[in-house]
Amino acid sequence: NAGVTQTPKFRVLKTGQSMTLLCAQDMNHEYMYWYRQDPGMGLRLIHYSVGEGTTAKGEVPDGYNVSRLKKQNFLLGLESAAPSQTSVYFCASLTGTGAYEQYFGPGTRLTVT
Amino acid sequence: AQSVTQPDIHITVSEGASLELRCNYSYGATPYLFWYVQSPGQGLQLLLKYFSGDTLVQGIKGFEAEFKRSQSSFNLRKPSVHWSDAAEYFCAVGVPTSGNTPLVFGKGTRLSVIA
């Protein structure tokens, strides 16, 4: 049981390049989330999903897109990366029943030059 | 909408001293409350949570937190800090009636431990 995994762990992009971050969970959780973490800003929600095939905007969605084609995967896309998207990205999942505990992945450190 | 305030950006304590990290929330009813810890370069780990019942909750690593409805607070405490407790701590609030509503996190408190 790997929990929540994120791919890649590190990435450097040039301005204007695109990439996709992959989050995978093997706990059969309904809900999945993408956050970004910046110094002094805490965690800010980018997008989230309450089930396969659904997505919703969070606090800071601009410049990002997401997809949840399979229940276990939640993809975060940057179509045209900007330096302001330099951050650490965390994925989390939640069962949706009972425990209400979010499980976090180890993070992806993205630098946009 | 719910919100969370962690008034202290950075706290330094001596090893062996007691610790209290403050968390205040804004929500119209009793929310779900959480404390997470993040060690450098790591993801977030749940320390403890409060849903209902006993207002003093025990967590991992010797931490506890007390829910005070009258003060809208959920402060984290530890009687004797160890150097390995140096990390960033996040308080979070959730809405009990809806699992669809994501947790809202505070901006975090960075804890430094000195010898």
pLDDT in tens, A12-61: 999 999 999 999 999 999 999 999 999 888 899 999 998 999 999 999 99
- Kindly state the tokens that stand for A1: 């049981």
pLDDT attached to residue B98 = 60
Closest among A83, A36, A22, A32 to A53, alpha carbons compared: A32
Over 80: is that where the pLDDT of A10 sits?
yes
pLDDT attached to residue B28 = 78
Mean pLDDT of the A84-99 span:
86
Place of tokens 């996040």: B90
pLDDT attached to residue A41 = 86
Q: Strand pairing partners for A24?
A: A5, A73
Whether A102 contacts chain B with CB within 8 A:
yes
Confidence of residue A100 (pLDDT cuts 50, 70, 90): confident
Contact B44 A106 (CB under 8 A): no
Say which DSSP state B62 is in. G
- Residues of chain A with C-beta less than 8 angstroms from the C-beta of B49: 100-101
User: C-alpha distances in angstroms, A84 versus A64, B54, B86?
Assistant: 12, 44, 29
Q: Output the furthest CA–CA distance in chain A (Å, rounded).
A: 43
Confidence of residue A95 (pLDDT cuts 50, 70, 90): confident
Residue pair A52/A69 in contact by the 8 Å Cβ criterion: yes
Contact B43 A106 (CB under 8 A): yes
**Mean pLDDT of successive 10-residue stretches along chain B, which has 115 residues:** 91 97 90 92 91 93 96 97 96 76 89 96
Q: Which of B43, B46, B106 sits opposite A42 (nearest CB)?
A: B106
